[in-house]
Structure 1
Amino acid sequence: MHIKQVIAKKILALFGWEVTGDAPCTEKGLFVVAPHTHWQDFPLGLLVRQYLGLNVRFIAKKSLFSGVKGRVFRLLGGYPVDRSRSQGYVQSVAAIFDQHERFYIAIAPEGTRRKVERLKTGFYYIALEAQVPMYLTAFDYSKKKVHITGPVWPDPSNENQFDDISAHFSGVQGRVPAYSFTKINEKE
């Protein structure tokens, strides 16, 4: 473990946090991080990234990348995305993977910090288009655990895979419990 990883581990432990699960084992990957309910998820994600020793980039809405704040987000590894244009979004994010030999990116599948009833599908199609695995990363504030599951390769022949991914995050308590993702069973 490098010194930066040791420091990140100590800071996480100081606040009572633990990182569990699968260590990333691929050269590229998409960290699907949920629930995203509060701004404090961002510094937690930066600590986890440092603990893992990976240069995990992140996608965020374009409006966050203006002025001084924008420069800081870029320095921290951010990629601005215009979410008002859905056309070409998946392809443009997937193309970023082709530009790098080793590359990881994090995406919040809810697309907002507010309560949602279903996850957006863009992350799945990005992984499929880029032919990279997903690392399902749960930020569970009730247990103070960041749990990583993966690699999970997108499989379009598995018609239940997206539902399985949604179920994976269902009930994980975010910083704002009321905004945490709870999968709605459509058959009820």
Structure 2
Amino acid sequence: MSLKERQPSWLSRLVRRVLVGIYKRGGWHAHGVVPESRKFVLIAAPHTSNWDFVYFLGLTDDLGIMPHFMGKSSLFRWPFTNFMLDMGGVPVDRSSNKNYVQQMIDEFKRRKEFMLTIAPEGTRGNVKAWKTGFYHIAMGAGVPLVVGMMDYQSKTGGLGPEIWPTGDYKADMKKVAEIYSTVVPKYPAKGMTGIFAKDET
């Protein structure tokens, strides 16, 4: 079943249909069980290609879920407001006096269902350290981390098991790395760099 909080516009439906069509024609298929609570931080890694977004969208559609993502508030201005919201965007105020981690924690408290997708690498290139905001959001909201996987070798992907953050970042990331160890990204040389080098939010 599809979990949507608003009726999307015809343009949003068309764009999603085209992207899901690309995913299906590519021969991808999904696996994994969606946590019953429908409230979790979904880790999108390793992020090595723009194609990741297309196939990730197809995989989540295959699983019957509608994950959300953060976007700076300026991206939600007219005429893109409805489109961004329809695609799962959540506006975030990144001004100096606003804490985006707390904004997302508050968002979790307001919603009965909220699957927040975050790419902790923050870029498609090699990184020295993952941004740890995703971890602090999960800790503060009291929700699990769920590993999102896309294996380009087998053209399969989906969700890994829930990992409840303990406050020991390094130990928890070892669990994440173990799940990702068998996943082949589009560009393997760029995959999973910086997972253990704790960075500031």
TM-score, scaled relative to structure 1: 0.77
Structure 1 alignment gaps of length 5 or more = none
The DSSP-based 3-state class of the residue aligned with 2:70 is strand
Out of 94, 99, 121, which is 1:88 matched to?
99
Q: What is the rounded CA distance, in whole Å, between the counterparts of 1:24 and 1:89 in structure 2?
A: 25
Q: Deviations over 1:54-97 (max 9, x none)?
A: 22111235565456456522321112345675962211111101
Indicate how the Cα distance of structure 1 residues 26 and 69 shifts in structure 2: closer, same or farther if over 3 A, else same.
same
Out of 119, 124, 130, which is 2:141 matched to?
130
| Identity, % of aligned positions | 34
Shift, 1:132, TM fit: 0.8
Q: Map 1:142-181 onto structure 2 (within 5 A).
A: 142-156=153-167, 160-169=171-180, 172-181=183-192
Q: Map 1:30-69 onto structure 2 (within 5 A).
A: 30-61=41-72, 64-65=75-76, 68-69=79-80
Name the stretch that deviates more: 92-101 or 82-91. 82-91
Out of 126, 134, 139, which is 1:115 matched to?
126
Letter in 2 for 1:125: H
Q: What is the rounded CA distance, in whole Å, between the counterparts of 2:196 and 2:68 in structure 1?
A: 32
Name the stretch that deviates more: 143-152 or 10-19. 10-19
Indicate how the Cα distance of structure 1 residues 39 and 126 shifts in structure 2: closer, same or farther if over 3 A, else same.
same
Letter in 2 for 1:179: K
Structure 2 alignment gaps of length 5 or more = 3-16
Shift, 1:139, TM fit: 1.8
Out of 82, 89, 92, which is 1:78 matched to?
89
TM-score, scaled relative to structure 2: 0.73
The DSSP-based 3-state class of the residue aligned with 1:160 is helix
Indicate how the Cα distance of structure 1 residues 32 and 83 shifts in structure 2: closer, same or farther if over 3 A, else same.
farther
Q: What is the rounded CA distance, in whole Å, between the counterparts of 2:100 and 2:56 in structure 1?
A: 23
Residue aligning to 2:150: 139
Name the stretch that deviates more: 7-16 or 87-96. 7-16
Aligned residue pairs: how many? 182
Letter in 2 for 1:59: M
Indicate how the Cα distance of structure 1 residues 184 and 39 shifts in structure 2: closer, same or farther if over 3 A, else same.
closer
The DSSP-based 3-state class of the residue aligned with 2:102 is helix
Q: What is the rounded CA distance, in whole Å, between the counterparts of 1:59 and 1:98 in structure 2?
A: 16
Out of 20, 34, 37, which is 1:23 matched to?
34
Q: Deviations over 1:147-166 (max 9, x none)?
A: 41122111125751133324
Name the stretch that deviates more: 62-71 or 104-113. 62-71
